[in-house]
Structure 1
Amino acid sequence: MSSINLRDLSVRFRDGSFGLRDINLEINPEEFVVLIGPSGSGKTTMLRTLAGFVQPSSGNVYIGGQNMTHVPPERRGMGMVFQQHAVWPHMSVAKNVGYPLARKGEKGASISKRVERTLALVGLEGFGRRKPASLSGGQRQRVALARAIIADPTVLLLDEALSALDEPLRDALRRELVSLTRREGLTTVHVTHDRAEAISIADRIVMLGDGRIHQVATPAELLSAPATADVARFIADATVLSGTIKGGKVVCAELDLSWDLSAVQAIDEVAEGDGVDIAIPPQSLSIGGSSVHAEITSVLFQVTSYSVTATTQSGHNFRLSISGQVPKIGETIQLMVRNPLVYRAF
């Protein structure tokens, strides 16, 4: 069991751009943390800095209380699984999995016992003699996972490790991965671009943007109270509009709407005259009783409801969920906006 502590961590590339800026993050032993954010937000840079493949420009990386900032990757006691499983085709499954132990100088009998145990952990018992070419993509990814954990790492790093798999295999392996890390007591950091995946498996989510941490929260906290309008836009499909505080109301001139301050979720303290960002997630929208006219421009079936995009005459797109009657593209609807999220605009 190991904690991870990043202190004042920055990564500056040779061209002068920053991959990470002033990162401070503490991850508890056995915690499953997911890094998420748009492309270029710093997710993979943070993971590679943790692993030791990227050297920080400033700050420190602590693993289990030890300063690992200048320790090479092979001495950090971590396991890592990449998007592409990268198993060696000329080796058997057992040789692939046992390779980290062989490199450390362990002998055949000892390696064999640990390989058998680890293959059983990842659901590949009896596969040791097979070659990777005879395995499915999901099975090869399990081989990569077994290889990452066989040397008893204290930390497991996953870089888009499931994204190359098709559903429902991806869902099945996702569930097994969470169970495995719990049973083995692994501290896990997982990078994904899939919001639904992050929400479903994380103890906490680290939301990144432009190399900075925008929010660290449980999935429930992140969905109910995004810290910034950008987080609300990314994680909750919120539409963000500009507004002003006037006469105790939040006024949105773009759509000719206003709400009493008591009828909004004010994330930041706001005062008369402040400019604000108004984030409107799908759960704040319903049909009827409003002067906001919109046309349905897309409809996706989602098992128990329909995910709809509705576009106003001003060109604003809103995402909402509709149950019951099948919505039709081109249909005109009226939108009611309740309890939007309000942030001070900077």
Structure 2
Amino acid sequence: MSSIKLRDLSVSFRDGTFGLQDINLKIEPEEFVVLIGPSGSGKTTMLRTIAGFVEPSSGSVLIGGEDMTHVPPERRRMGMVFQQHAVWPHMSVAKNVGYPLARNGEKGASISKRVERTLALVGLEGFGSRKPASLSGGQRQRVALARAIIADPTVLLLDEALSALDEPLRDALRRELVSLTRREGLTTVHVTHDRAEAISIADRIVVLGNGRIQQVATPTELLSAPATADVARFIVDATVLNGIVRNGRVMCPDLDTSWDLDAVQAIDDIFDGDLVDIAIPPHSVGIGPAHHPDYIFAEITSVLFQVTSYSVTAKTQSGHSFRMSITCSVPEISETIGLSIDNPMVYRAD
């Protein structure tokens, strides 16, 4: 049960570019935190810096209140699971799982007892004598997870640990992983590129972009109030347009439309004359008659079935695409419609 604190942390590479810049983050004991962001945002660099595989250029890494900035990975008492399960094919499951204990000098009976307990924790009771080649991909990933937690780590680090698995196995292991970390009281940091996964399992989500933290929030907070237009674009598939505030209204020249300030979700304080970014998420978009004067003319470009609804994309005459979710009267591709946009999120432009 250890906290993690990153203080004024930066990582620069030999070519002068930054992997992380001015990172300040506190992860509480037993908290399950997910790092997410587009490719190159710094999420894997942050995880590897916590693990000790990347040396920070400045700042510090504290685990359980102790400065671990220059402590090698093997002395940080962390378990780590990678995207590729990386189990050793020549060893049995039990030997794979017990390896960290054997490396630390523990002996036969003690190792066997802990291996049995740990395999039971990950749903592999009775699998100790088998070789990895006889296991499924999901079972091999469970072996990697068991090996990561057998030495009672203070922190569990997961680097795209579920992304190589197929659904529904991935969903099942995701659920078991959350239950396991809760039962064992593990502080967990998980890197994923899957937004739905992050939202479903995290206590808090850290959104990264260009090596900086863009937002730290619970899933509910993140979905309801993305901190920036870029976060809204990445997390909730918002279309972001330029605008300006005039006479108490948010004007959007690209769509030739506007909203009263009372009819928008103003994330920042905005005033007359401010340039703004207008983020329009799918739940703010509705379908209406194609040529109605109160609607924006658009053409359907894609329709995807999503179990309980359809995800529809439509493009306006100005060339901007909008997503929306509908449950009935499914339009066809190339059909012309009218779009209504209500309660967009508005940010002061940088």
Q: Residue 347 of structure 2 corresponds to which residue in structure 1?
A: 343
Flag structure 1 segments of 5+ consecutive residues without an equivalent. none
**Alignment-mate amino acid for residue 301 of structure 1:** F
* SS in structure 2 of the partner of residue 173 of structure 1: helix
Q: Residue 229 of structure 2 corresponds to which residue in structure 1?
A: 229
What is the CA-CA distance between 1:291 and the residue it aligns to? Answer: 2.7
Query: Whole-Å Cα distance in 2 between the matches of residues 99 and 20 of structure 1?
Result: 33
Q: Residue 151 of structure 1 corresponds to which residue in structure 2?
A: 151
* SS in structure 1 of the partner of residue 145 of structure 2: helix
Query: Whole-Å Cα distance in 2 between the matches of residues 87 and 218 of structure 1?
Result: 34
Q: Residue 320 of structure 2 corresponds to which residue in structure 1?
A: 316
* SS in structure 1 of the partner of residue 295 of structure 2: strand
Q: Residue 297 of structure 1 corresponds to which residue in structure 2?
A: 301
Note the 1:103-182 alignment, pairs <5 A.
103-182=103-182
Note the 1:13-52 alignment, pairs <5 A.
13-52=13-52
**Alignment-mate amino acid for residue 53 of structure 1:** F
Q: Residue 262 of structure 2 corresponds to which residue in structure 1?
A: 262
Say whether residues 1:329 and 2:318 are aligned partners: no
* SS in structure 1 of the partner of residue 109 of structure 2: helix
What is the CA-CA distance between 1:325 and the residue it aligns to? Answer: 2.3
Query: Whole-Å Cα distance in 2 between the matches of residues 208 and 16 of structure 1?
Result: 20
Residue deviations 1:281-335, cap 9 Å, x none? 0011111263311111011101111001111111101010011123211111111
Query: Whole-Å Cα distance in 2 between the matches of residues 221 and 327 of structure 1?
Result: 32
Residue deviations 1:127-171, cap 9 Å, x none? 000000000000000000000000000100000000000000000
**Alignment-mate amino acid for residue 330 of structure 1:** S
**Alignment-mate amino acid for residue 245 of structure 1:** V
Residue deviations 1:67-125, cap 9 Å, x none? 00000000000000000000000000000000000000000100000000000000000
Query: Whole-Å Cα distance in 2 between the matches of residues 64 and 30 of structure 1?
Result: 11
Q: Residue 80 of structure 2 corresponds to which residue in structure 1?
A: 80
Query: Whole-Å Cα distance in 2 between the matches of residues 81 and 250 of structure 1?
Result: 48
Say whether residues 1:241 and 2:252 are aligned partners: no
Report sequence identity in percent: 83
Query: Whole-Å Cα distance in 1 between the matches of residues 327 and 43 of structure 2?
Result: 36
* SS in structure 1 of the partner of residue 250 of structure 2: strand
Flag structure 2 segments of 5+ consecutive residues without an equivalent. none
Query: Whole-Å Cα distance in 2 between the matches of residues 128 and 295 of structure 1?
Result: 58
What is the CA-CA distance between 1:225 and the residue it aligns to? Answer: 0.2
What is the CA-CA distance between 1:198 and the residue it aligns to? Answer: 0.2
Query: Whole-Å Cα distance in 2 between the matches of residues 318 and 174 of structure 1?
Result: 31
Q: Residue 94 of structure 1 corresponds to which residue in structure 2?
A: 94
Query: Whole-Å Cα distance in 1 between the matches of residues 133 and 143 of structure 2?
Result: 12
**Alignment-mate amino acid for residue 237 of structure 1:** D
Deviates more, 1:320-329 or 1:180-189: 320-329
Query: Whole-Å Cα distance in 2 between the matches of residues 4 and 333 of structure 1?
Result: 51
CA-based RMSD of the aligned residues comes to: 0.6
Query: Whole-Å Cα distance in 1 between the matches of residues 332 and 202 of structure 2?
Result: 36
**Alignment-mate amino acid for residue 101 of structure 1:** L
- Scaled by the length of structure 2, the TM-score of the pair is 0.98
Q: Residue 278 of structure 1 corresponds to which residue in structure 2?
A: 278
* SS in structure 1 of the partner of residue 44 of structure 2: helix
Query: Whole-Å Cα distance in 1 between the matches of residues 83 and 346 of structure 2?
Result: 37
What is the CA-CA distance between 1:258 and the residue it aligns to? Answer: 0.4
Query: Whole-Å Cα distance in 2 between the matches of residues 21 and 91 of structure 1?
Result: 41
Query: Whole-Å Cα distance in 1 between the matches of residues 140 and 198 of structure 2?
Result: 23
**Alignment-mate amino acid for residue 2 of structure 2:** S
